[in-house]
A and B are shown apart, each in its own frame.
Chain A
Amino acid sequence: MTRYLLRRLLGAIPLVLGVATVVFFVIQLAPGDPANLVLSPGMDEAVIEQTRENLGLNDPLPVQYVKWLGSLAQGDLGYSLNQRRPVAAVIGDALPNTLLLSALALGIAFLVGIGVGVVQAVRPYSVPDSVLSVVALFFYSMPSFWLALMLILVFSYLARNVWELPIWFPSSGIRSSDFDLMSPGEQLVDRVRHMVLPVTALWLVLAAGVARYTRGSLLEVVGQDYVRTARAKGLPERTVILKHALRNALIPVVTLLGLYLPVLFSGTVFIETIFAWPGMGKTIFDAIGARDYPVVMASSLIFAGMVVVGNLIADLLYALVDPRIRYE
């Protein structure tokens, strides 16, 4: 197991290197002189030249590339041109927010998705199964940004201003403006209320896919001989499904984890932008708007790294739930 892990980690290095190379050369295609981003307009020609020299922009491209890789390897992500502080600090602030959002959404999506899939597969082609299939298909086909806007419309605007319900959810930010004046209990409630809508917009779309997949996988397993044996020896249906069938049906569902990470991270770009959630997605979007290339490069690398690590975790989980798979 340890050897397999090591080999996979080593195998991930060329992958991340490839991604880094793609990012570097895409950014190099950008028109305009990066030196102008640092300087104010109308500077003296000599100052511009000196800045270019200082930033290493006069080196040939391969030299710039190797230098950039070298500083990356030392953990130096560069300096944000827009925020005027190290990129590591920018990402350090944003990453925990995104991880919180993604982890919650992923967790809820798999719990709900598997639950719905089981309910459907227990009585396939029944009315509840068909209704849930249609609902799942709709959420599966829905753009997450539109779902987010509809959630805001219903739970922030209609619930608060039109129906005047006691429960409504804020549509932006991670805390209220009077957060510091609240008691610890109220602060917790405030944080949770700000999380509800963004997390929901993310998990609903993912859960629909998980439900579709779980249903198919469970239906396949239920048709197998050992499940018939379990039923024949008089086990309650509950035990047959949850203990015998579901365990095997969940094995392929685990692979969805690896597949859904890129989807999830793409989703965070929309959701964080819409809900003004200060995470990686909003950071990279804002950085692109401001042409803050060091932040763009570092954030894309982090996203790619998270996808690679997520795939690794999915593979390890796969081995964990299926003892037939031996990694040597």
Chain B
Amino acid sequence: MSEAALTRTSRSPLWWLPGGALLRVGRWHLGVPVLTTWVFAVLLVVVRARRIPDVWFAGVDGKLAVLTLGLTVGGLLVWAWSDPSGRRSLLDRRWHPAARSFQRNHMAVVGAWIVFAAYLLAVLAPLLAPYGPNVQGDLLQVRLLAPSGSHPLGTDHLARDVLSRLLYGARVSLSIGFIAVAISASLGTVVGAVAGYFGGWVDSVLMRTVDVVISFPRLILLITIIAVFEPSIFLIVAVLGLTQWPGTARLVRGEVLSLREREFIQAAEALGFARARILARHLIPNALVPVIVAATLGIGNTIVLEAGLSFLGLGVQPPTPSWGTMVADGRNYLLTGEWWLSTFPGLAIVLVVVAFNLMGDGLRDALDPRMRKG
């Protein structure tokens, strides 16, 4: 492209907006979401301008929301201006064959953007939600209202706005899923790598433990443990994180078993490196690909499981909104026709979990060189 052509097109206002340059060079899969995100953030600033100071002084999560909004608006602008040709950008095509392969999988890209959008909406909830999560309207007048203009997703049995609770519930559900999977993936990686590398009785003991935990229907174990203690968010995270590692451990052990026969590990051993160093520096980094895929798919499962526990009353306790408790709240109103109470939080769960599954499948195909199509 000639210098003159560049100057001419750069006069178009679209050129200066975040994502505009990407659209200009035909990279729709990045350009459209970036532009949409930025326009959405700007609109939010305009519409909620008066609320921003209140939210800022309301606490840590309020500050986080305002900062995120500011970063989205400002950061994307700075990024767009510092890179006007759109050549260097997030997830650059030329960066790695895996990134290229992932971007060719359109469903996976859509999944990744839905996940990103869900986390963004969850962080921005204090600015976005029309009402507070536990703000009750007049019990006589706004209880169990069908979806309408002032309450887009209706109100619940305690006259609270369903949309607002859905947005705040996203923070609980999404963060529990993420933290629990982070715990289980780290634990599983360490256990699996130790078992695979050291072998012998260490391996036997660890893998028999894995067999026991896996042969136990996980939900039964979870509800037994939670019922014994008092249900709380911390207990949920701990219990979800500490019961999911066996799958990861098996996966990593298999990888490590084949890796430790390879020449580079033998070279490291011949050089006399400590076993802990070989584990941490050579084995685990090379066994991480299946862990990343399993963790992405695992977040979806964990969100469903957390919702299930909350549905049974063993998870997040009222009045804190979580998608599972919201579905449970609506259960008693299904047979009287108040369908919106259970339907919308359930749809939110399905959407996010579908997105995580699409993203996980895409990552698996992209990170496995045998599955990669060019």
| Residue ranges of A at the interface with B (Cβ–Cβ < 8 Å) | 14-15, 18-19, 22-23, 26-27, 29-31, 137-138, 140-143, 145-146, 149-150, 152-153, 156-157, 161-162, 171, 261-262, 265-266, 269-270, 273-274, 284-285, 288-289, 291, 296, 299-300, 303-304, 307-308, 311
Contact = CB atoms under 8 A, between A and B. Distances in A.
A22 B221 CA distance: 9
Contacts of A146: 307, 327, 342, 346, 349-350
A262 B228 contact: no
A304 B334 contact: no
Interface string B152-177: 00000000000000000000000000
Contacts of A157: 334-335, 337
Contact of A266 (B209, B219, B330): B219
Nearest to B328: A145
Nearest to B225: A26
B218 interface: yes
B224 A266 contact: no
Contacts of B139: none
Interface of B: 208-209, 211-212, 214-221, 223-225, 227-229, 300, 304, 307-308, 311-312, 327, 330-331, 334-335, 337, 339, 342-343, 346, 349-350, 353-354, 357-358
A140 B346 CA distance: 14
Given A15-B212, A27-B224, A149-B331, A161 B337 contact: yes
Main secondary structure of the interface of A (DSSP, over half): helix
Given A142-B350, A149-B331, A19 B223 contact: no
A299 B211 CA distance: 19
Contacts of B215: 15, 19, 262, 304, 307-308, 311
A55 to B, nearest CB: 18
Contacts of B349: 142-143, 146
A304 B327 contact: no
B335 A141 contact: no
B354 A138 contact: yes
A141 B343 CA distance: 15
A152 B330 CA distance: 12
Contacts of B220: 265-266, 269, 284, 299-300, 303-304
Contacts of B335: 152, 156-157, 171
